[in-house]
Structure formats: structure tokens, C-alpha cells
Chains A and B, each alone.
Chain A
Amino acid sequence: MHILELRHVEKIYGEKENQVKALGDINLKVNPGEFIAIVGTSGSGKSTLLNLMGGLDSPTKGAIYVKGKEIGSLKRKALTIFRRRNIGFVFQNYSLMPVLNVYDNVALPVTFDSGNHLNHGYIEELLKELGIWNKRKKYPQELSGGQQQRVAIARALVNKPAILLADEPTGNLDSATTVEVMGLLKTSCRKYNQTILMVTHNEGIAQICDRIIHIEDGRIVNENNFINTKPSDAGEGGDFTC
């Protein structure tokens, strides 16, 4: 079963003469454990696509299935809980809570689920894996961009979501840090068998992924699957250029 499936998804913003078609007739199937890059120029609709897949926005037409469930059919509360348990987000601007330290930022989404046990061992493992355990008491403002993005990734992974959506996760980072962050994403993908969909406009970064989806003017124009052509996955800090 596909972990994510989009059927004839269309997204239109605005009304009447101000209508803008952001996405048109998108069909996509994603297998569990895939690391996919969505590549396109600015305004091509890649972020819109990511937001629709994450349930942050709703499509004008079409249906999106996550783990076989059509998220459009879910009521707001059910969608929220479904999203919280199944989808993790990493944003370009990190979107960390400035008033919480690293540890609490990571723990925050778990506390929303009253029945969910706060697994401190797992948080510690995540932070160590991402190399920020020694920064756990620091506030976001006291960290570099790369460190902040690692915190954001840790936070996205803390609920062990089925899908991790990353919107330009390296957009604000320098090239060295970009390499580090991409390596971490890749490692997480493999280690926790998570499906990652990452939006980027950087073709070089996309090369590290299993599949690259090119999107232009709201339509998928090309798909490259490297899963068979690239048998050896890049390790941590993989060998690619930005």
C-alpha cells in the first residue's frame, strides 16, 4: 500500500477574475521509506503541494490519501490529530518556539497527545543522533541556523511520524551546514524508515534523494527515480554538491 497518494489534486487560489491555479491534476504515489525531493522554480507550486500533502491546506479538487485515509474527509479535530500522529514538518525558517529551550521544543508536540507517553530516552537518542544533545538547554536564538534546523528535524521526528515533510529545510543555511542537514535527513529516513518529502529549488540537494519530482506551473513535469540506479545511498554528509 502506498503511504501517500494524490489523485487529480487541484488547488486554485482567489475567486473569479483573481483566480490563480497553483496546482492542476496532480497524481502521485509514494512508497513507505522513500526520500523524495520536489523540485521546481519559485512559484511553481511545490510548497503548495507539500502543504496539501501535510493537511495544512485543502485541495480545491481531488483527494489525498495518507496511509490509505483520505485526509479531506476528516473533520478538523480528527485531521489535526491524524496530522500530529502521522506527519512531521520541517520549515525553512525552522519555526521553533523562542520561549522554549531545545529539549522542550522537541518534546512539545508529544505533550499534545495526552495518552502518549513522553519518551525521554527517545528524545535523548534523537538529540544525540542529530548532534545537539549538548545544546538541549539552549534557546533557539542562541543556536546557529544549522543547529536550529536540527532541532526542527528532531521535533518533526519525535512523534515518529509516517511521513516527514520538509519545506526548503536548507534554504537558510550555508553549503556546509546544508550538507550536514541533508545527511541527517537521509540518515533519519533510513534509520527510522520514514518517508520524507522535501521541497527544494536546489537540484544538487535533490540528488541525494531516492526520487526527484519536477514541478512547473503547478504540474508534475518529470520524475526521476534513483532508487535502482543509485544502489549505494549516500551516508551521513553524503557526497553531493549543492
Chain B
Amino acid sequence: MLKLAFQNMRYYKSQTMAIFFSIFLTAALLSGIGSLLYSSQLNETENSKRIYGNWHYALPSNPQLLKSIKKGDREQGFFLEQYGVKEIRETITTPYEISFVWSDTSYLKMTDRELVKGNYPATPGELAADIFTLSNLGYKGKPGEIITLNKTEYTLSGILNSPWAADTDHMEVFVSEDFKSTDVLSTLYVKFREEGKLYRQLYAFLDYYKISGNDVENNDKVTKYLGGEEPEHLYQILKFALTDEKGNFTYIVLKLQAEYNLAFYGMVLLLCAFSLCVIYSIFQISVSKRILQYGIMETLGISDRALGGTLLAELWMLFLIGYPLGCLAGNSILKLSYRRLAGIFTPLYFSANAQEISAADSLSLGDTKTPQFHTACWVMLIGFLFLFFAMFLIGILTLLSLKKQTLRQAMAEDPCFLKGSRKIYSRRNRNLTGVVIRKFMFSNPKKITGILLSLSMGGCIFLCTTYMVENLKIHAEMSLKSDEGLSSPYRISLMSHTLGDTIPKETVEEIKELPQLAEIHATKYIPGEITIGKTELEWDEYFDERNKDSYFRERFGGICVSRGNNYGIKYNVYGYDSNLITQLKDYILEGEISEKDWEKGNKIIAVANQDGQGNFNFYGKHPGDTLLLKVPKAFKDDGEILRFENPKKDYLEMEFELAAIVSRPLTQENRFFNVNGWKNHPSLILSNPQMERLYHIADYSFLDIEPVKGADDAFFDALLQAIQNVPRAVLKDDTKAIQAQRNYLGQQQLFFTGIAVIFLAISLFHIMNSANHSILSHRREYGIILSMGITKGQFYRMILSAGILYGILTDVFIFLLYHIFLRQAMNYYMAHVLQFLHFTAAVPREIFIMVLVLNLLISLIAVLIPAGKILKAEVLENL
């Protein structure tokens, strides 16, 4: 069998090479993309470590625990790699809320807050702080500078790295270990060796030191891919989905994504399936070319087993050579080009000159680190095993398809007996060659459907990926603006919990006059409460969770509270400028936004609630419906007014007409309701003139500022100067963070597009091979036509018409598949799993046309090559 298989490979060189290259390319693709995805996850974890700290869990600490950890075993079902301690020694509230923190060096290292300049405080009279804190306090940030806090003078001993996206709600200064305090809040940060599932190590750790797991905080962004939380059992997920009324397919998908990293494993599975399709299809083509030989072998009495063995031996031999070589090539090429793509995976690894610290450079001042390329050996192993056994199936299927034919058919190389319309075409149509071409293609509908499906696969994958990238672009931009609070390079906000603190109108006017200003969005804000009927409320579980938070309970009396037959739900009420309101039009789910409404009308825009499965809803209300909104009349925060339980006279209650429902707000307040890890609190949007006319709010709560390109530090200083006399106003510089995030997102898009292009390239190779086979399989018939005296030009025209037909049909398939099925599937996936479907996103028309034209071109080239071969040969050779 081996000898026969080897001889087959030698004799059918071009087919052997086609199978070999299909294995080689798909192995390169499978292992390469597997490794890229694996690397991206590991490097995303590295990024998260920089942003959120290089620790896995945080838990309340005490001296005994620290003592026992110091003495205790570090390997008892867990491996404690690093731990650090942070103690909040004191907190002051003026001029801002500032914590005096002592921490060990290990903590500083773990949270990337190491010293950039100077020394760590050695005496109680010294402190170290970051540039964000110092600049807002009005200091230049030079070691030795005297800092006055709470009427006490401290010497600035050193400058620390600013934390990522500086927390405007809270500032920290670091003090020496001798800094005395009466009330210490100590937290232990632990980091385990990243092998196996982390939650198992945590359980062993808690068990070993007899610690309760109730107050353990999981650094979930870091532990996301490291098994930070015990996943729910698959059986439980399925049971809930199938038996509970809330369970559905989306639930399963979401659970698998959250608990079992479905996106990654799904991708590996898809790659395996894609590889299998390509190999199977090319192998089928090769086998069909030698049906005659198999027919002869069967006539000579070869057993099914031996025939199957020969097929398998051939496939496996090629696989055993092609797969490792493909893996090697795929990984090597990607490893070499990985540094060029470095930014994809390491958005924060930029270098900065630590000697010249400016406010803009105060973030993540680390050494340049090269991201690592990680080879996903286990993906290769999975791929190897999957394809190895899949090939066994291919062998069996091929054998079965051979057995379906009679020996005569096999030997006549006539796999299908043609039957078609009895119509005489030449009576009305002189173009009989066109009829011949069409009949060649459509003689076997099953076969042509299979071919067209496989041909359109690459184009479809490319379009789906492009569609996702287009959505990702919008989502990334929006997340940056709304979720991450990085809407503009500079943001002036208030570090205050009282409504009375605002940014005066005059300050905004002053900033508007700054020479280097490009754009400013000044937003007004007021917390409000809407009234919703008890029957209208959905997702009460969400509000139950919010109500459980002691901060919301104590300060606002809960987020969603019962008011007789209704619920009162706390809402952020924003006053946007006209520019931002216009931008909101891209996110309309229902209704319309008209500029006229904002001048005199009492129309309001509501941001829909989005559930965990990506469904939008606004309590069953639609544009034109009314909404009752209550806001405090006076801005003095007596601590009770925001509970909305004072006498009626303290509030303004108005009925608004719902103009539109949008999917998200654009810029958000980070105080009041968007705190304690809660983001995207329900919002309502009015215009600035409405806020002034209806609620008499003249001043602003936060400003998003965009300087002109190339603006220098003077602009930053001018902004600081402008807010100098505004109590509790802070200026945050997000230039670097935005740039880093944009780079990351841009390169992430490039990465996805790159993968799609590879798919497209493999698919094009496949199209070439299929079209080539399709023409050459009718070589004899073309030979007959040539012998009858068709000219070279006529022959090329005939073959080109076949190419055009292939191209057009593939394009039609792509068009229909994409619009009827795939786009719906992508919409479902993005809406419910990724949760970033945007209604305005679409594949750019140019890209769509490019894919269609490329298919057509490739089909034409693909048929011209075998046509050339046929013409090159003598007529008799073709016969």
C-alpha cells in the first residue's frame, strides 16, 4: 500500500503538490493564527497588568497574616510568586479627597507606580506623588518642593508613575512607613505563578492560611485568561439554558464565552474546519482526476481495505511532512513580523523620556518592552490530531464515493450520466460553446453548489471580518469616549460629591478664547429620578444589585426604589451642546433628533438599557411616549435631596416627550452614579439651552477639550490657569492614553483584516485549483472542439466565459450568503456576545466591490491557465 501510495504521489506530481500545499498553507494558517491569538491574549494580560496592576487577588490584610505568609510555605497547592501590601493611613477631603498611603516596594512594582524621580519617603515629613495629583494641587512636581496638605507641610521626596487613566475621583500620596495614623486600612495583593487555573491556587491559599474568601477582590482584567474564577460546570449551563425560562441559546453562548473563552476556542475550531474543507476539496479534485486508475485497480481485484489504505497512506504521508513544515513556516513568519505588529498587543509599551517629565508624559513611564510571540503548541497539537483523524474520515468518504460508481463508470472516467433538457439549442442560439460551458458546470447541481460554496468561503469570511472591524472601529471610538472616559485629550471635571460645585460659565468662555483650542464640549449635569410603572420595569435584578451597594443605598436611598405603584429610578441627566447632540444621531435606535426641539420643546433623548444579551429596551416606551422626570430644584446638597424623598417643593417635576431612544451616551459624568465600578448608569439627554431654560443650570459639570494639532505644554498650563480659582476642578491629560488606545485599536483592526486577507488568499488559491480542475477535467471535450476547428481566440473566449460564469456565480453566492445568512449571524454574534453592534456600521461599498471584482479576476486567471495548457498541447494530446 505504501509503495503504491508513494508511486501515486510520484506520478501525479502536480496533484500531490496541490494537496501538499493545501496542507502546508492551512497548517501555517491554523498554527500561525492560533499562536497570534494566544500571544494576543497573553499580551493583553500583560497590558492589563500595567493598567490594573500585576496582581491577581486582593484581600484584607493584618499583621498576623503577613507574619504567617512570611514564615509560611509558598508552595502548598499554590505558588505565591509575589505579594505586596498597601495601607491607607489617612484620608483628607480638601482640597480634594486624597489618601495618604504607605506601601511596600513590592506593591509599587506590582501596580507600576514605581519612582520616576527622587526617593521614596523616608520620614513622616516626606511624601511622594504622581504628576496628575501634583499638577492639580498646583505644584510643579520637583523633588524638594514643599507640599501643603491639610495645613501640614511635607517635602516632596519623589515622583511616581501616574496610574493608568488617572482616577479623578480619588488621589493618592505616598508616605513613609513611620507615618502615624490611628486607623489603618491594609490590603494584601497576591500574585500566583501563572500555571494552570488561578482559582485553584487561590482556594488552596485561602485554605492554607485559613482566610475567608468573602472579601477577596479578583483583578478580573488580569485573571481573565488565567482562570481567575471557577467556571460554572458545562452541565449546569446547559441545564439552566434548557430548563429555565430565562435560558436560551444566547445564554449558552454568553456563558461559554465568559467561562470557557469561546471566542478563542471557537476560532481554533473554525480554523480546523476551514483547513479540513480546503484539504478535503483539493483531495477530492485530485482523486477525481485518477478515478480511471482506481477503476483499473478495482478491476484487478484490489480490496476496499487496500484501496482505502492507499488513499490514507498518501494523505497521511503528505500530512506528516506538510503539517510540521506549515506550522514551522507560519510561526516563523509571524514571529519575524511580530515586532512590526507589536503595538497590536502592547498598547502601553511606549518609551518616554523619564528625565523630562511633563504633565503629558506622566503616564506609564516604563522602559520599552518588546512583546513576546508565544507559540501555541497545544493549538498545533489540537490541529494535528483533528486533521489526522479527519483525514481518516476523508479517506473513508472518498472510498464510499468511489464505491458508488460502477466499475464501468470509473473506468470511463464518467462519474455522472448526463441527462438534461431535450431542447435543441442551435435552433435559436448560435453560441453552442456557451451552452457547452454552462452544461459542463451545471451537469451536477450538487457538485457545483459545493464548489461555489467553497469558493465563496474566503470572500464571505473576509466580508464578515470587515463588517466586524467596521463595528469594532465605531465601538472602540465610543468606548473610548463613553466607557473609558477618554472622550478628549483633556478633561476638566470636578472632584467633588456635591451638586453645588460646578465649572462656571465664565471659565468655559475663558477656555474658549485659548489660542490653541480646537474644540470644546461643555456638558451640564444633574442627577434625576424618573417614574416608571411597576409593570414596566424589566431587569429588576440589575437594580437589585445596584441597591445592594452600600454607597448607593446610603447616599441615594437606592438606585431603584418603590414609590407606591411605581418605581423611582435614578438617572443621569445631561445637557449636551448641539455638536454632541448631532453626533448622537448615529446611535438612534428609535425616533429622530431634530435641532429645533432643543430650543423650545420639552423633548428628551433616552439612552436605552442594554441587557447582558445585547437587547435594548427603554421600559417598553417609544418615541412620542411621555416620561416623568424629577430633578432637585436647588443645588445645595444637604445629603438628603438626592434621595428624592424631600417635600415636593424641593424638586422640579416635568413631563417630557420622548424624542428618540439611543444606544449610548457620548460623554459621561464619572461622579454620583458612575462610581464604584459601575459604568454607563442609565442616562437622559437634554440640550444645554434646555438645561438652562427648564432647570436654570447655567454652569457646567465637565468639559472635554481638544487642542489644535501640535499644541504645546503652554495649552495645558493655560487650562490649569483657567481652573485655578474653580474649587475642586481638576484637569486630566489623557493624550497618551488616547494615543495608546487608538494605536492598539488601529493595529487590532489591522490584525483582524490581516487574518481575513490570509483567508481570502487561501480561498483564492482554492478557487484557482478548483477552476483549473474544472477546465482540465473536460480536457478531452475541449480537445474535440479544437479538432472541429475552433480558433485560439474563440477557444479563449469560450473558456473566459466559463471563468466569468464562475466569478459571477461565486459573487452571487457571496452576496446572497452574506446578506441573507452571515450578516444576520454576525449581527447576532456582535449584538449578543460581543455586544458592540452598531446600526450605522457596514462593509464599505468599495471593499464589497473589490471582493466581487477580485473573485471575478481570479476566476478569469484561474481558467486561463489550464486553457493555455490545453492550447499548448497538440489537438491529439487533448483527445
Contact among B420, B440, B794, B874 for A139, CB-based, below 8 A:
B420
Do residues A100 and B789 form an inter-chain contact, with CB atoms below 8 A?
no
The proximity string for A residues 109-129 relative to B, scoring 1 for CB distances below 8 Å and 0 otherwise, is: 111101000101000000000
Which residue on chain B has the smallest CB distance to residue A95? Answer: B784
Do residues A57 and B874 form an inter-chain contact, with CB atoms below 8 A?
yes
Interface size class of A (residues with CB under 8 A): 35 or more
Bound Cα distance from A89 to B422, whole angstroms? 26
User: Within residues 797 to 843 of chain B, which ones have a CB less than 8 A from any CB in chain A?
Assistant: none
The proximity string for A residues 194-209 relative to B, scoring 1 for CB distances below 8 Å and 0 otherwise, is: 0000000000000000
Contacts A107-B432, A111-B432, A112-B794 given: A118-B787 contact, CB under 8 Å?
no
Min CB–CB distance A142 → chain B (angstroms): 8
Do residues B431 and A96 form an inter-chain contact, with CB atoms below 8 A?
no
Do residues B789 and A84 form an inter-chain contact, with CB atoms below 8 A?
yes
Do residues A97 and B784 form an inter-chain contact, with CB atoms below 8 A?
yes
Q: List, in ascending order, chain A residues with CB within 8 A of B414's CB.
A: 98, 141
Do residues A111 and B431 form an inter-chain contact, with CB atoms below 8 A?
yes
The proximity string for B residues 418-458 relative to A, scoring 1 for CB distances below 8 Å and 0 otherwise, is: 11101011110011110110011001000000000000000
Interface-side segment among A34-42, A73-81, A224-232: A73-81
Do residues B876 and A100 form an inter-chain contact, with CB atoms below 8 A?
no
Do residues A100 and B875 form an inter-chain contact, with CB atoms below 8 A?
no
The proximity string for B residues 782-795 relative to A, scoring 1 for CB distances below 8 Å and 0 otherwise, is: 01110111111110
Min CB–CB distance A9 → chain B (angstroms): 17
Q: List, in ascending order, chain A residues with CB within 8 A of B780's CB.
A: 95
Do residues A103 and B788 form an inter-chain contact, with CB atoms below 8 A?
no
Q: List, in ascending order, chain B residues with CB within 8 A of A104's CB.
A: 424-426, 432, 435
Which residue on chain B has the smallest CB distance to residue A159? Answer: B789
Min CB–CB distance A122 → chain B (angstroms): 12
Do residues A98 and B792 form an inter-chain contact, with CB atoms below 8 A?
no
Bound Cα distance from A104 to B788, whole angstroms? 14
In this assembly, does A234 line the interface, its C-beta being within 8 Å of a C-beta of chain B?
no
In this assembly, does A56 line the interface, its C-beta being within 8 Å of a C-beta of chain B?
yes
Bound Cα distance from A155 to B785, whole angstroms? 12
Contacts A103-B426, A107-B426 given: A139-B419 contact, CB under 8 Å?
yes
Bound Cα distance from A81 to B433, whole angstroms? 16
In this assembly, does A101 line the interface, its C-beta being within 8 Å of a C-beta of chain B?
yes
Q: List, in ascending order, chain B residues with CB within 8 A of A76's CB.
A: 792
Contacts A81-B789, A84-B788, A112-B789 given: A139-B418 contact, CB under 8 Å?
yes
Q: List, in ascending order, chain A residues with CB within 8 A of B420's CB.
A: 99, 139
Contact among A57, A81, A89, A98 for B418, CB-based, below 8 A:
A98
Contacts A118-B426, A137-B422, A137-B424 given: A95-B432 contact, CB under 8 Å?
no
In this assembly, does B177 line the interface, its C-beta being within 8 Å of a C-beta of chain A?
no
In this assembly, does B879 line the interface, its C-beta being within 8 Å of a C-beta of chain A?
yes
Bound Cα distance from A52 to B217, whole angstroms? 90
In this assembly, does A67 line the interface, its C-beta being within 8 Å of a C-beta of chain B?
no
Do residues A83 and B422 form an inter-chain contact, with CB atoms below 8 A?
no
In this assembly, does B417 line the interface, its C-beta being within 8 Å of a C-beta of chain A?
yes
Q: List, in ascending order, chain B residues with CB within 8 A of A83's CB.
A: 789
The proximity string for B residues 761-800 relative to A, scoring 1 for CB distances below 8 Å and 0 otherwise, is: 0000000000000000000110111011111111000000
Do residues A109 and B788 form an inter-chain contact, with CB atoms below 8 A?
yes
Contacts A56-B876, A99-B420 given: A112-B426 contact, CB under 8 Å?
no
Min CB–CB distance A130 → chain B (angstroms): 17
Min CB–CB distance A40 → chain B (angstroms): 18
Do residues B876 and A57 form an inter-chain contact, with CB atoms below 8 A?
yes
Do residues A77 and B785 form an inter-chain contact, with CB atoms below 8 A?
no
Which residue on chain B has the smallest CB distance to residue A116? Answer: B430
Which residue on chain A has the smallest CB distance to residue B871? Answer: A76
Contacts A111-B430, A111-B431, A139-B418 given: A95-B787 contact, CB under 8 Å?
yes
Contact among A57, A108, A120 for B788, CB-based, below 8 A:
A108
The proximity string for A residues 173-188 relative to B, scoring 1 for CB distances below 8 Å and 0 otherwise, is: 0000000000000000
Contact among B426, B781, B792 for A111, CB-based, below 8 A:
B426
In this assembly, does A51 line the interface, its C-beta being within 8 Å of a C-beta of chain B?
yes
Bound Cα distance from A44 to B790, whole angstroms? 30
Which residue on chain A has the smallest CB distance to residue B798? Answer: A112
Do residues A80 and B791 form an inter-chain contact, with CB atoms below 8 A?
yes
Q: List, in ascending order, chain A residues with CB within 8 A of B794's CB.
A: 112
Query: For A91, A100, A110, which residue has the most chain B Cβ atoms within 10 angstroms?
Result: A100
Bound Cα distance from A56 to B788, whole angstroms? 10
Which residue on chain B has the smallest CB distance to residue A158? Answer: B788
User: Within residues 379 to 419 of chain B, which ones have a CB less than 8 A from any CB in chain A?
Assistant: 414, 417-419
Q: List, in ascending order, chain A residues with CB within 8 A of B879's CB.
A: 91, 95
Bound Cα distance from A111 to B781, whole angstroms? 16
Do residues B424 and A103 form an inter-chain contact, with CB atoms below 8 A?
yes
Bound Cα distance from A77 to B786, whole angstroms? 11
Do residues A100 and B874 form an inter-chain contact, with CB atoms below 8 A?
no
Which residue on chain B has the smallest CB distance to residue A82? Answer: B789
In this assembly, does A136 line the interface, its C-beta being within 8 Å of a C-beta of chain B?
yes
Bound Cα distance from A195 to B737, whole angstroms? 90
Which residue on chain B has the smallest CB distance to residue A86? Answer: B789
Bound Cα distance from A1 to B747, whole angstroms? 80
Bound Cα distance from A114 to B431, whole angstroms? 10
Bound Cα distance from A91 to B781, whole angstroms? 13
Which residue on chain B has the smallest CB distance to residue A96? Answer: B784
Do residues B789 and A97 form an inter-chain contact, with CB atoms below 8 A?
no
Contacts A91-B879, A137-B424 given: A100-B792 contact, CB under 8 Å?
no
User: Within residues 127 to 160 of chain A, which ones have a CB less than 8 A from any CB in chain B?
Assistant: 136-137, 139, 141, 155, 159
Which residue on chain B has the smallest CB distance to residue A123? Answer: B426
Contact among B422, B427, B439, B792 for A80, CB-based, below 8 A:
B792
User: Within residues 40 to 84 of chain A, which ones have a CB less than 8 A from any CB in chain B?
Assistant: 51, 56-57, 76-77, 80-81, 83-84
Q: List, in ascending order, chain B residues with CB within 8 A of A84's CB.
A: 788-790
Contact among B430, B440, B783 for A99, CB-based, below 8 A:
B440
Bound Cα distance from A107 to B431, whole angstroms? 11
Which residue on chain B has the smallest CB distance to residue A55? Answer: B875
Q: List, in ascending order, chain A residues with CB within 8 A of B443's CB.
A: 99
Do residues B790 and A80 form an inter-chain contact, with CB atoms below 8 A?
yes
Contacts A108-B785, A120-B427 given: A100-B435 contact, CB under 8 Å?
yes
Q: List, in ascending order, chain A residues with CB within 8 A of B424's CB.
A: 101, 103-104, 136-137
Contact among B430, B433, B793 for A118, CB-based, below 8 A:
B430
Min CB–CB distance B414 → chain A (angstroms): 8
Which residue on chain B has the smallest CB distance to residue A155? Answer: B788
Q: List, in ascending order, chain A residues with CB within 8 A of B418's CB.
A: 98-99, 139, 141
Q: List, in ascending order, chain B residues with CB within 8 A of A99's CB.
A: 418, 420, 435-436, 439-440, 443, 781
Min CB–CB distance A179 → chain B (angstroms): 26
Q: List, in ascending order, chain B residues with CB within 8 A of A56's CB.
A: 787, 874-876
Q: List, in ascending order, chain B residues with CB within 8 A of A112's CB.
A: 433, 788-791, 794
Bound Cα distance from A130 to B427, whole angstroms? 20
Min CB–CB distance A78 → chain B (angstroms): 9
Min CB–CB distance B406 → chain A (angstroms): 13
Min CB–CB distance B875 → chain A (angstroms): 5
Q: List, in ascending order, chain A residues with CB within 8 A of B874's CB.
A: 56-57
Bound Cα distance from A209 to B580, whole angstroms? 97
Do residues A100 and B788 form an inter-chain contact, with CB atoms below 8 A?
no
Bound Cα distance from A84 to B422, whole angstroms? 27
Bound Cα distance from A120 to B425, whole angstroms? 12
Bound Cα distance from A137 to B417, whole angstroms? 16
Which residue on chain B has the smallest CB distance to residue A99? Answer: B439
Which residue on chain A has the smallest CB distance to residue B781? Answer: A97
Q: List, in ascending order, chain B residues with CB within 8 A of A51's CB.
A: 876
What are 15 A-B interface contacts by the 8 Å CB criterion? A77-B793, A80-B791, A97-B785, A98-B414, A99-B436, A99-B439, A103-B424, A103-B426, A104-B424, A104-B425, A107-B426, A108-B785, A118-B430, A120-B426, A155-B788
- Beyond known contacts A80-B789, A81-B791: 5 more, CB 8 A cutoff: A81-B789, A99-B440, A104-B435, A108-B426, A111-B433
Q: Which residues of B contact A (CB under 8 A)?
A: 414, 417-420, 422, 424-427, 430-433, 435-436, 439-440, 443, 780-781, 783-785, 787-794, 874-876, 879
Shortest beta-carbon contacts, A-B, top 10: A84-B789, A99-B439, A107-B426, A137-B422, A109-B788, A95-B784, A103-B424, A111-B432, A56-B875, A80-B791
